[in-house]
Amino acid sequence: MTGIKPIVVGVDGSEAASAAVAWAARAAAALSLPLHIVTVVHIPAFYYTEPYLAESFKEELEDTAKARLGSARVHAKQTVDEPLDITTEQHEGKVSQTLIELSANAHMVVLGSRGHGEFTGLLVGSTTSAVAAHGHCPLVVVRGRTMDGQPPTEGPIVVGVDGSESSKAAVEVAFEQAAARGASLVAVNVWSDVSVQPSLGASPEDPLWSSIQTGEEVVLSERLAGYQERYPDVTVERIVARDRPVRVLSEFAEKAQLIVVGSRGRGGFKGMLLGSTSNALLHTADCPVMIVRPES
Protein backbone atom coordinates (compact mmCIF):
# COMPACT_ATOMS: atom_id res chain seq x y z
CA MET A 1 0.00 0.00 0.00
CA THR A 2 1.39 3.41 -0.98
CA GLY A 3 0.29 7.00 -0.85
CA ILE A 4 -2.23 7.97 1.81
CA LYS A 5 -2.10 5.59 4.73
CA PRO A 6 -5.38 3.70 5.25
CA ILE A 7 -7.20 2.61 8.34
CA VAL A 8 -6.63 -1.14 8.63
CA VAL A 9 -9.31 -3.28 10.28
CA GLY A 10 -8.94 -6.99 11.01
CA VAL A 11 -11.95 -9.27 10.60
CA ASP A 12 -12.60 -12.87 11.60
CA GLY A 13 -16.35 -13.24 11.17
CA SER A 14 -17.20 -12.49 14.79
CA GLU A 15 -19.72 -9.90 16.00
CA ALA A 16 -16.87 -7.99 17.62
CA ALA A 17 -15.10 -7.79 14.27
CA SER A 18 -18.31 -6.50 12.69
CA ALA A 19 -18.41 -3.73 15.28
CA ALA A 20 -14.77 -2.96 14.51
CA VAL A 21 -15.56 -2.64 10.80
CA ALA A 22 -18.37 -0.18 11.53
CA TRP A 23 -16.11 1.89 13.81
CA ALA A 24 -13.28 1.84 11.29
CA ALA A 25 -15.63 2.87 8.46
CA ARG A 26 -16.85 5.88 10.45
CA ALA A 27 -13.27 6.81 11.33
CA ALA A 28 -12.21 6.55 7.69
CA ALA A 29 -15.11 8.76 6.61
CA ALA A 30 -14.37 11.33 9.34
CA LEU A 31 -10.68 11.49 8.47
CA SER A 32 -11.18 11.15 4.69
CA LEU A 33 -8.93 8.09 4.60
CA PRO A 34 -9.11 4.78 2.72
CA LEU A 35 -10.34 1.69 4.57
CA HIS A 36 -8.37 -1.53 4.22
CA ILE A 37 -10.14 -4.68 5.47
CA VAL A 38 -7.93 -7.70 6.13
CA THR A 39 -8.37 -11.27 7.28
CA VAL A 40 -5.74 -13.88 8.06
CA VAL A 41 -5.91 -17.57 7.19
CA HIS A 42 -3.89 -19.53 9.73
CA ILE A 43 -3.35 -23.26 9.25
CA PRO A 44 -2.18 -25.07 12.42
CA ALA A 45 1.16 -26.82 11.95
CA PHE A 46 -0.22 -30.27 12.72
CA TYR A 47 -2.41 -30.16 9.61
CA TYR A 48 0.71 -30.27 7.45
CA THR A 49 1.46 -33.80 8.65
CA GLU A 50 -1.40 -34.87 6.39
CA PRO A 51 -0.95 -32.99 3.07
CA TYR A 52 -4.38 -33.96 1.73
CA LEU A 53 -6.12 -32.70 4.87
CA ALA A 54 -4.03 -29.53 4.89
CA GLU A 55 -4.92 -28.72 1.28
CA SER A 56 -8.66 -29.31 1.70
CA PHE A 57 -8.67 -27.44 5.00
CA LYS A 58 -6.83 -24.54 3.40
CA GLU A 59 -9.32 -24.33 0.53
CA GLU A 60 -12.20 -24.27 2.99
CA LEU A 61 -10.56 -21.50 5.03
CA GLU A 62 -9.82 -19.45 1.92
CA ASP A 63 -13.41 -19.73 0.72
CA THR A 64 -14.64 -18.65 4.14
CA ALA A 65 -12.16 -15.78 4.25
CA LYS A 66 -13.25 -14.53 0.82
CA ALA A 67 -16.91 -14.51 1.90
CA ARG A 68 -15.93 -12.81 5.16
CA LEU A 69 -14.17 -9.98 3.35
CA GLY A 70 -17.13 -9.51 1.02
CA SER A 71 -19.55 -9.24 3.93
CA ALA A 72 -17.29 -6.81 5.76
CA ARG A 73 -17.02 -4.62 2.67
CA VAL A 74 -20.81 -4.45 2.36
CA HIS A 75 -21.15 -3.70 6.08
CA ALA A 76 -18.62 -0.85 5.85
CA LYS A 77 -20.46 0.72 2.90
CA GLN A 78 -23.80 0.49 4.69
CA THR A 79 -22.41 2.05 7.87
CA VAL A 80 -21.66 5.51 6.43
CA ASP A 81 -23.41 7.75 3.93
CA GLU A 82 -20.17 9.04 2.41
CA PRO A 83 -18.48 7.06 -0.37
CA LEU A 84 -15.48 5.14 0.95
CA ASP A 85 -12.34 3.97 -0.77
CA ILE A 86 -12.41 0.33 0.42
CA THR A 87 -9.89 -2.40 -0.33
CA THR A 88 -9.78 -5.96 1.01
CA GLU A 89 -6.90 -8.37 1.40
CA GLN A 90 -6.52 -11.98 2.47
CA HIS A 91 -3.32 -13.15 4.15
CA GLU A 92 -1.92 -16.48 5.26
CA GLY A 93 0.26 -16.78 8.33
CA LYS A 94 0.33 -15.55 11.90
CA VAL A 95 -2.22 -12.91 12.81
CA SER A 96 -0.01 -10.71 14.99
CA GLN A 97 2.91 -10.75 12.57
CA THR A 98 0.64 -9.86 9.65
CA LEU A 99 -0.97 -6.96 11.49
CA ILE A 100 2.37 -5.62 12.66
CA GLU A 101 3.67 -5.66 9.09
CA LEU A 102 0.53 -3.92 7.81
CA SER A 103 0.76 -1.31 10.57
CA ALA A 104 3.93 0.07 9.00
CA ASN A 105 1.81 1.59 6.24
CA ALA A 106 -1.39 2.23 8.20
CA HIS A 107 -2.84 5.31 9.83
CA MET A 108 -4.22 3.04 12.56
CA VAL A 109 -5.10 -0.62 13.10
CA VAL A 110 -8.59 -1.46 14.40
CA LEU A 111 -9.54 -4.75 16.08
CA GLY A 112 -12.61 -6.09 17.85
CA SER A 113 -12.59 -6.71 21.57
CA ARG A 114 -13.33 -10.42 21.21
CA GLY A 115 -13.12 -12.83 18.33
CA HIS A 116 -13.13 -16.42 17.24
CA GLY A 117 -11.21 -18.55 14.78
CA GLU A 118 -7.76 -17.09 14.19
CA PHE A 119 -8.63 -14.11 16.40
CA THR A 120 -9.68 -16.23 19.40
CA GLY A 121 -8.73 -14.61 22.67
CA LEU A 122 -7.58 -11.53 20.78
CA LEU A 123 -8.05 -9.16 23.70
CA VAL A 124 -6.35 -11.17 26.40
CA GLY A 125 -3.95 -13.09 24.18
CA SER A 126 -0.73 -12.29 22.38
CA THR A 127 -2.11 -10.54 19.29
CA THR A 128 -3.25 -7.29 20.88
CA SER A 129 -0.16 -7.11 23.10
CA ALA A 130 2.13 -7.77 20.14
CA VAL A 131 0.51 -5.13 17.92
CA ALA A 132 0.46 -2.62 20.77
CA ALA A 133 4.11 -3.28 21.59
CA HIS A 134 5.56 -3.59 18.11
CA GLY A 135 3.08 -1.93 15.77
CA HIS A 136 4.05 1.21 13.90
CA CYS A 137 0.77 3.09 14.32
CA PRO A 138 -2.03 3.54 16.88
CA LEU A 139 -4.04 0.45 17.80
CA VAL A 140 -7.79 0.72 18.48
CA VAL A 141 -9.65 -2.02 20.34
CA VAL A 142 -13.36 -1.48 19.75
CA ARG A 143 -15.55 -1.88 22.80
CA GLY A 144 -19.16 -0.84 23.50
CA ARG A 145 -21.33 0.02 26.47
CA THR A 146 -24.51 -1.69 25.29
CA MET A 147 -25.56 -5.32 25.43
CA ASP A 148 -24.80 -5.84 21.74
CA GLY A 149 -21.29 -4.45 22.20
CA GLN A 150 -21.72 -1.68 19.65
CA PRO A 151 -19.36 1.25 20.22
CA PRO A 152 -20.79 4.67 21.07
CA THR A 153 -20.86 7.34 18.37
CA GLU A 154 -21.38 10.34 20.63
CA GLY A 155 -19.57 11.85 23.58
CA PRO A 156 -16.13 13.43 24.07
CA ILE A 157 -12.71 12.09 23.21
CA VAL A 158 -10.81 11.41 26.44
CA VAL A 159 -7.01 11.40 26.51
CA GLY A 160 -4.72 10.34 29.35
CA VAL A 161 -1.93 12.89 29.79
CA ASP A 162 1.40 12.78 31.61
CA GLY A 163 4.96 13.84 30.88
CA SER A 164 5.95 10.84 28.75
CA GLU A 165 6.67 10.72 25.03
CA SER A 166 3.80 8.27 24.56
CA SER A 167 1.48 10.78 26.17
CA LYS A 168 2.69 13.51 23.80
CA ALA A 169 1.85 11.28 20.83
CA ALA A 170 -1.53 10.39 22.37
CA VAL A 171 -2.46 14.07 22.77
CA GLU A 172 -1.76 14.79 19.11
CA VAL A 173 -3.88 11.85 17.94
CA ALA A 174 -6.68 12.73 20.37
CA PHE A 175 -6.91 16.29 19.00
CA GLU A 176 -6.99 14.90 15.46
CA GLN A 177 -9.84 12.56 16.39
CA ALA A 178 -11.82 15.25 18.21
CA ALA A 179 -11.50 17.69 15.32
CA ALA A 180 -12.51 15.11 12.73
CA ARG A 181 -15.56 14.00 14.72
CA GLY A 182 -16.67 17.45 15.87
CA ALA A 183 -16.27 16.25 19.47
CA SER A 184 -14.98 17.92 22.60
CA LEU A 185 -11.76 16.76 24.24
CA VAL A 186 -11.26 15.86 27.89
CA ALA A 187 -7.57 15.89 28.85
CA VAL A 188 -6.99 13.94 32.06
CA ASN A 189 -3.82 14.00 34.14
CA VAL A 190 -4.11 11.64 37.10
CA TRP A 191 -1.36 11.57 39.68
CA SER A 192 -1.00 9.23 42.62
CA ASP A 193 1.76 9.14 45.22
CA VAL A 194 1.69 6.56 48.01
CA SER A 195 3.74 8.91 50.17
CA VAL A 196 0.89 11.41 50.21
CA GLN A 197 -1.97 9.67 51.97
CA PRO A 198 -4.90 11.13 53.92
CA SER A 199 -4.22 8.55 56.63
CA LEU A 200 -0.85 10.22 57.22
CA GLY A 201 -2.44 13.61 57.65
CA ALA A 202 -2.06 14.80 54.06
CA SER A 203 -4.92 16.76 52.58
CA PRO A 204 -5.51 19.05 49.59
CA GLU A 205 -4.62 22.00 51.81
CA ASP A 206 -1.18 20.62 52.73
CA PRO A 207 1.82 22.24 50.99
CA LEU A 208 3.16 18.90 49.66
CA TRP A 209 -0.15 17.90 48.12
CA SER A 210 -0.67 21.41 46.75
CA SER A 211 2.81 21.52 45.17
CA ILE A 212 2.29 18.17 43.43
CA GLN A 213 -1.12 19.27 42.17
CA THR A 214 0.33 22.51 40.83
CA GLY A 215 3.17 20.64 39.16
CA GLU A 216 0.78 18.26 37.43
CA GLU A 217 -1.34 21.18 36.23
CA VAL A 218 1.82 22.58 34.64
CA VAL A 219 2.53 19.21 32.99
CA LEU A 220 -0.98 19.18 31.53
CA SER A 221 -0.66 22.74 30.23
CA GLU A 222 2.70 21.99 28.64
CA ARG A 223 1.35 18.90 26.90
CA LEU A 224 -1.63 20.82 25.48
CA ALA A 225 0.37 23.88 24.46
CA GLY A 226 0.03 24.68 20.80
CA TYR A 227 -2.69 22.15 20.03
CA GLN A 228 -5.59 24.43 20.87
CA GLU A 229 -4.20 26.95 18.41
CA ARG A 230 -3.94 24.23 15.73
CA TYR A 231 -7.44 22.96 16.51
CA PRO A 232 -9.40 26.10 17.52
CA ASP A 233 -12.79 24.41 17.07
CA VAL A 234 -12.06 21.71 19.65
CA THR A 235 -13.40 22.51 23.11
CA VAL A 236 -11.00 21.23 25.78
CA GLU A 237 -11.79 20.34 29.39
CA ARG A 238 -8.77 19.92 31.67
CA ILE A 239 -8.85 17.48 34.58
CA VAL A 240 -6.07 17.06 37.14
CA ALA A 241 -6.83 14.60 39.92
CA ARG A 242 -5.06 12.58 42.58
CA ASP A 243 -6.35 9.05 42.15
CA ARG A 244 -5.61 5.82 40.38
CA PRO A 245 -5.54 6.42 36.59
CA VAL A 246 -7.66 3.39 35.74
CA ARG A 247 -10.42 4.51 38.09
CA VAL A 248 -10.67 8.02 36.70
CA LEU A 249 -10.27 7.03 33.05
CA SER A 250 -12.84 4.25 33.42
CA GLU A 251 -15.35 6.74 34.81
CA PHE A 252 -14.82 9.06 31.84
CA ALA A 253 -15.08 6.10 29.45
CA GLU A 254 -18.70 5.66 30.56
CA LYS A 255 -19.65 8.78 28.58
CA ALA A 256 -16.85 8.97 25.99
CA GLN A 257 -16.84 7.78 22.38
CA LEU A 258 -13.09 7.07 22.48
CA ILE A 259 -10.36 6.98 25.09
CA VAL A 260 -6.75 7.55 24.02
CA VAL A 261 -3.71 6.54 26.06
CA GLY A 262 0.00 6.28 25.44
CA SER A 263 1.66 2.89 25.26
CA ARG A 264 4.00 3.71 28.11
CA GLY A 265 3.97 6.43 30.73
CA ARG A 266 5.53 7.68 33.90
CA GLY A 267 4.15 8.17 37.37
CA GLY A 268 0.55 6.99 37.53
CA PHE A 269 0.80 5.76 33.93
CA LYS A 270 3.99 3.75 34.42
CA GLY A 271 3.81 0.43 32.61
CA MET A 272 0.73 1.55 30.70
CA LEU A 273 1.23 -1.03 27.97
CA LEU A 274 1.42 -4.15 30.08
CA GLY A 275 0.38 -2.82 33.48
CA SER A 276 -2.92 -2.72 35.29
CA THR A 277 -4.20 0.52 33.76
CA SER A 278 -4.05 -0.46 30.10
CA ASN A 279 -5.14 -4.01 30.79
CA ALA A 280 -8.11 -2.85 32.81
CA LEU A 281 -9.19 -0.37 30.12
CA LEU A 282 -8.88 -2.95 27.36
CA HIS A 283 -10.98 -5.40 29.35
CA THR A 284 -13.59 -3.13 30.91
CA ALA A 285 -13.79 0.29 29.21
CA ASP A 286 -17.25 1.26 27.99
CA CYS A 287 -15.89 2.71 24.75
CA PRO A 288 -13.15 2.00 22.20
CA VAL A 289 -9.59 2.29 23.51
CA MET A 290 -6.74 3.63 21.40
CA ILE A 291 -3.14 2.88 22.35
CA VAL A 292 -0.57 5.24 20.84
CA ARG A 293 3.15 4.57 20.67
CA PRO A 294 5.66 7.40 20.32
CA GLU A 295 7.41 7.74 16.99
CA SER A 296 10.72 5.92 17.01
CA distances from 198 to 175, 216, 247, 249 (A): 35, 19, 18, 22
13 or 148, higher pLDDT? 13
Chain centre to alpha carbon of residue 248: 18
For residues 53 and 47, the answer to whether their CB atoms sit within 8 Å is yes
What does pLDDT average to over the chain?
Answer: 83
From residue 29, give the alpha-carbon distance in Å to each of 6, 107, 148, 203, 244.
Answer: 11, 13, 23, 48, 35
Instruction: Indicate the range of 64-73, 170-179, 199-208, 255-264 predicted with least confidence.
Output: 199-208
Model confidence at 122: pLDDT above 70: no
Q: What is the pLDDT of residue 262?
A: 84
Q: 8 pairs with which residues across the strands?
A: 36, 109
8 Å CB contact between 281 and 265: no
Kindly state the percentage of the chain with pLDDT values over 70.
79
First and final C-alpha spacing in the chain = 21
pLDDT value of residue 275? 47
pLDDT of the residue at 274 = 44
Q: How sure is the predictor about 278, in pLDDT bands with cuts at 50, 70 and 90?
A: confident
Tell me how far apart the alpha carbons of residues 207 and 211 are, in angstroms, rounded to a whole number: 6
Q: Which tens digit of pLDDT belongs to each residue from 89-104?
A: 999 888 889 999 999 9
Higher pLDDT, 127 or 220: 220
Tell me, what's the pLDDT at 241? 85
Residues 223-239 pLDDT 10s: 898 998 999 999 999 99
Asked whether residue 196 carries a pLDDT value surpassing 70, the answer given is no
Region 255-263: mean pLDDT is: 92
Q: How many residues does the chain have?
A: 296
> What predicted TM-score, i.e. pTM, was given to this entire model?
0.86
Per-residue pLDDT tens over the stretch 15-62: 889 999 999 999 999 999 999 999 998 776 666 566 666 677 778 888
What does the pLDDT read at residue 254?
Answer: 93
Q: Quick one: what percent of the chain has pLDDT higher than 90?
A: 47
Give the mean model confidence (pLDDT) for residues 149-154.
Answer: 87
